[in-house]
Structure 1
Amino acid sequence: MYSPDDAQRYADDHTSPESALLARLNRETHVQVLHARMLSGHAQGRLLSMLSHMVQPRRVLELGTFTGYSALCLAEGLTPDGLLHTVEQNPELAGRIGRYVAEAGLEDRIQLHIGDARQLVPALAETWDLVFIDADKINNDTYYELVLPQVRPGGFLLIDNVLWNGKVLPFHAVKSADKDTHAVRAFNAKVQADVRVENVLLPLRDGLLLVRKL
């Protein structure tokens, strides 16, 4: 019987490699930035890129830029006139994000907003083809309701960390009493019952929820 770690290593070995720029950002984040595990990383980054290429979005919204890895991956599938808006609450990360966006030659394709997404997103007069939510988990439902009306019919939302280190699973129901776990579990249940969308939860890394607006 193989272990999950063995399966993950095999999957990584059979996934297209990240670019040299992304590999450098990956390494730099793990060496220099706190909470580096928040980075999307190789396998999830390639999935984000693949999904973006499949959707071919003209407008992408990301909530939770961190060091910019996922934004760079999502931008790979933009249409020629496409634009990605990404929102990060921590201003200390802005310089690093800007540097890597510039090195990727995407200054005109990725627009960084620093601040609270709840205030910034309503001011963006866009219709979204693809949205990636990877911010504070306790506000997943708030962000979902904020952006869903702006997503075009047939558009997609991706929500990260929906397994929350496994704490949302039924056998953790008693032990996992923290508010973030309750919020993620309630959010997952809400999306499952939401007649406005269809959804698939992928057990990739910490769980990625794929949602299509009907």
Structure 2
Amino acid sequence: MDIVNIAAEAYASNFSFEEDDLLHEINQYTTATHDNAHMLSGHVQGSFLSLLSTLLQPSRILEIGTFTGYSALCLAKGLKPGGMLHTIELREPDAATAKSYFERSVYKNNIRLHLGDANEIIPTLNEQWDIVFIDADKTGYISYYDLILPAVKQNGVIIADNTLFHGQVLEENISGKNAKAVHAFNEHVKNDPGVQQVLLTVRDGLMLIRKL
């Protein structure tokens, strides 16, 4: 199911601030070479992440699901001086690609890439998070959320990607495993009295969650 009008997305892209050269290169490379290029945040969503991070001026960011590094570099744009972004990737080839781009970035000393299972890595980080971006395996969303929420600062923000999951969550009888998991996550957050949330129809759905 197409949930984003192609013409509207192109129009939005035209009126969003431009990618820098490195982001544009990652976008082009991933689109041209990666079998799962649709997983890239892309221009409009990336611009949103950059703008949100810049407004919040975080000192600590956690990203669960690095992919080829695009979203991490978008989020890093808002870091305070001396701030740090930790990003976790399970797939070694994607981590290697992301690392190559991070090393060419002005944020190379502000990004720490972790290779492995987020459930095992997160408890070792011993940080308090201003922003968390969840964009990994959908069946793990609830587990990641419950794991990181105690370490999110008051008024800190969690951003969950793909919360409309290709429109499959709109089906009367949700059948896909990932769509079921995303819908369960959306319900889980909705029923959490400790947060305030809004689900935005940006790209494949972004849920913004503020810890109260």
Provide TM-score, normalisation by structure 2.
0.96
- Please give the alpha-carbon distance, in whole angstroms, between the structure 2 residues aligned to 1:26 and 1:11: 17
Secondary structure in 1 matching 2:197: strand
Secondary structure in 1 matching 2:169: coil
1:173 aligns with 2:172: yes
How many pairs were matched up?
209
Match of 2:14 in 1: 13
Post-superposition offset of 1:95: 2.3
Structure 1 alignment gaps of length 5 or more? none
Match of 1:97 in 2: 98
Post-superposition offset of 1:55: 0.8
Task: Spell out, residue by residue over 1:98-152, the C-alpha distance to the aligned partner (whole angstroms, 9 max, x if none).
Answer: 1111111322100000000000000001000000000000110000000000001
**Structure 1 stretches of at least 4 aligned residues deviating more than 6 Å after TM superposition:** none
Check the 8 A contact 2:168/2:176 in 1, yes or no: no
Match of 1:108 in 2: 109
- Please give the alpha-carbon distance, in whole angstroms, between the structure 2 residues aligned to 1:107 and 1:20: 16
Post-superposition offset of 1:5: 2.5
After TM superposition, list the pairs within 5 Å mapping 1:143-162 onto structure 2: 143-162=144-163
Q: Structure 1 residues 104 and 9 mapped into 2: Cα distance closer, same or farther (>3 Å)?
A: same
Secondary structure in 2 matching 1:177: coil
Post-superposition offset of 1:89: 0.2
After TM superposition, list the pairs within 5 Å mapping 1:63-142 onto structure 2: 63-142=64-143
Check the 8 A contact 2:90/2:117 in 1, yes or no: yes
Q: Which has the higher contact order (CA 8 A, sep 6+)?
A: 2
CA RMSD of aligned residues (A): 1.1
Match of 1:43 in 2: 44
Check the 8 A contact 1:72/1:101 in 2, yes or no: yes
Match of 1:183 in 2: 181
Post-superposition offset of 1:202: 0.6
Provide TM-score, normalisation by structure 1.
0.95
Q: Percent identity at matched positions?
A: 47
Secondary structure in 2 matching 1:158: strand
